Chain A
Amino acid sequence: MLLTIDPTSAEPLFRQLAGSVRAGIATGRVLPGERLPAAREVAASLQVNVHTVLHAYAELRDEGLIELRRGRGAVVTNTAVDRAVLHDAAVALVAAARHLGVGPAELTELVRGHFDRDTPGKENRT
C-alpha cells in the first residue's frame, strides 16, 4: 500500500494519513484482511511522530475500517471497502453543504428525509 502525506498542506497529518489508507481501500489497492504496517515504521518512513500515525489508525478504527488485533496489528476489516465509499460520499456531502451555507442540523434533516422517503413502507415526507 502507498501512504502519502503533504506537510505543507493545512490538513492535519493524521487526517491525511487516514485519508491515504481510506483511498487505498476505496480503490481496492488495499484489501480486507491486509495488515497495515507498524505505526513505528510508518512514522520513520514518513518522518512524522509515531503518535500522528497512531491517531490516524485510531480514526480508521473508529470508522470501522480497521481492527486492532492483538499480535497481528492493524488489519483492514471486511466491510472496509463499503465504509470507505460511504465516508467519501459523506465528505463530499459536507463539502457541498458548506459551500451552500447549509449547517449540520439542516443537513442531518435532509439526509434523514431521504432515508424515510426512500425506505419502502414509510409515509412520504417532503
Chain B
Amino acid sequence: MRRLLVLVVLPVSAWLAAVLVSLGLRASLPDPMAVHFDLAGAADGYLSFGTNLWVLTGILTLFLVAFAAAGLPARRPAAIARAAGMLATGTAVLLAGVQILLVLVQRDLTTADAARLNPAFIGLALLLAGGAAAGAHRLVPSEQAAQLQADPDAPRLDLPPDVRAVWTRGQTMSGPAVAVPALIATAVVIGGYLASAWPFVALGLLLGVLVVGMGWWTVTVDVTGVRYVSVLGWPRRSVALREVLDAAVVQVRPLRDAGGWGIRVNKAGETGLYLRAGQALHVRLVDGRGLVVTVDDAATAAGLLNSLRDRAR
C-alpha cells in the first residue's frame, strides 16, 4: 500500500542506508566523533559513535510513529496521508543525509575537533529531503474519483437556462481574531520605534500588512467557479467550475474545526478560509479535495454553484 511505502518503508530504508554506511566506515572515525558544527563549519559538539546513532534513531522513530498514526489509518483522507508521508520521508532523508555527511567528513581523522563541515552541504541535504518529500507527495493517490458522487439533494437555485448570474459577498474576519494580531503589530512598531530598532518597526509594519490581508475578503461564485480573494489581492484561491463536485452549507467554528482563524486546514484535510463562527460554504471537488469558506448567505452561493455545475455537465 502506498501509505505504508511513504510512511514506513521509504523512511526506514533511507535511515537504514545511512546506518549501514556509518557502520561500514566506523573503524576510520575518531572517537568521540563530531556531531555539531558552528556556522563557520568548525566542530563544536561531540558524541560517541554509538550514542549518536541511538539518539538519532530514537528521534526518527518518534517522528515516524507520530506521522504513521496520522496518516496510516485507511479512513484518514488522502490529503492528510500525503502530508504525513511527505513529512516522514523528508525527515528521514534529511536525517540520513546529515548522518552520512557527518561520517564522510570525519573519515580518517584522528581527532574530531579537526572535522569541518561546510554549511552548504546541509543545504544540499535539505534539498534532497525536499525532493524526497515531493516524491512522496506524488506517491499517495487521491481518493478514487469514481467513488465520489455529487449529492443530488445539494441546494440549487432556480436558474432558467439562459440566465447568467454572479454571487459575490464581502466578509471580514471576526473582530477579536483581527484585533489580537493588530495589537501585536502595533506594539511591535511602537516598541521598535521607541527603541530605535528599525528592523522591528519594519517587522511590525509587515505584520500590519498581513493583518489587513487576512482581515477583509471577497467571495465570488460565477460561471468560472468559486473563489475567495483577499482585499490585497493575495492570498487568493479559486476552484474552476469543472473541478466542483457539489456545494453545501455547513456550520463551522474556526477554533474547533480548523485550529484557528484565517487560511487553515481542517481535520478532513480541506483547506479553507475561516473568518468567523457560523455558516460556511463547503465545496467538494471532483478529485476528493475540498474547500470551506465562512461567508454569509452561503445558501445562495451553494445553490448557484450547484446550478451552474448542473448546467455545465
Contact = CB atoms under 8 A, between A and B. Distances in A.
A5 interface: yes
A45 B222 CA distance: 6
Contacts of B304: 2
A1 B163 contact: no
Contacts of B157: 2
A102 to B, nearest CB: 32
A5 B167 contact: no
B164 interface: yes
B164 A46 contact: yes
B169 A7 contact: no
Interface string A31-66: 000110100011001111000000000000000000
Nearest to B160: A6
A4 B163 contact: yes
B164 A1 contact: no
A47 B167 CA distance: 14
A49 B269 CA distance: 40
A49 to B, nearest CB: 13
Interface string B170-197: 1000000000000000000000000000
A117 B241 CA distance: 57
B165 A3 contact: yes
Nearest to B224: A45
B162 interface: yes
B167 A1 contact: yes
Interface residues of B, number: 20
Nearest to B157: A2
A126 interface: no
Interface residues of A, number: 18
Interface in B62-100: none
B166 A3 contact: yes
B258 interface: no
A37 B163 CA distance: 19
A7 B168 contact: no
A8 B162 contact: yes
Nearest to A5: B164
Contacts of B165: 2-5, 46
Nearest to B159: A4
B310 interface: no
B162 A45 contact: no
Nearest to A2: B167
Interface string B124-163: 0000000000000000000000000000000001011011
A47 B308 CA distance: 14
Contacts of A41: 168, 220
Contact of A7 (B162, B167, B218): B162
B162 A6 contact: yes
Residue with the greatest number of chain B CB neighbours at <10 A, chosen from A4, A7, A35: A4
A42 B166 contact: yes
B112 interface: no
B297 interface: yes
Given A2-B300, A45-B220, A45-B222, A35 B166 contact: no
Q: Give me the 7 closest cross-chain CB pairs, A-B, nearest first.
A: A45-B166, A45-B222, A4-B165, A8-B162, A37-B168, A46-B164, A2-B167
29 contacts: A1-B167, A1-B168, A1-B169, A2-B166, A2-B300, A2-B304, A3-B165, A3-B166, A4-B159, A4-B165, A5-B163, A5-B164, A6-B163, A7-B162, A8-B162, A34-B170, A35-B170, A37-B166, A37-B168, A41-B168, A41-B220, A45-B166, A45-B168, A45-B222, A45-B224, A46-B164, A46-B166, A47-B223, A48-B164
Given A2-B167, A3-B167, A8-B162, 4 more contacts: A2-B304, A4-B164, A37-B168, A48-B164
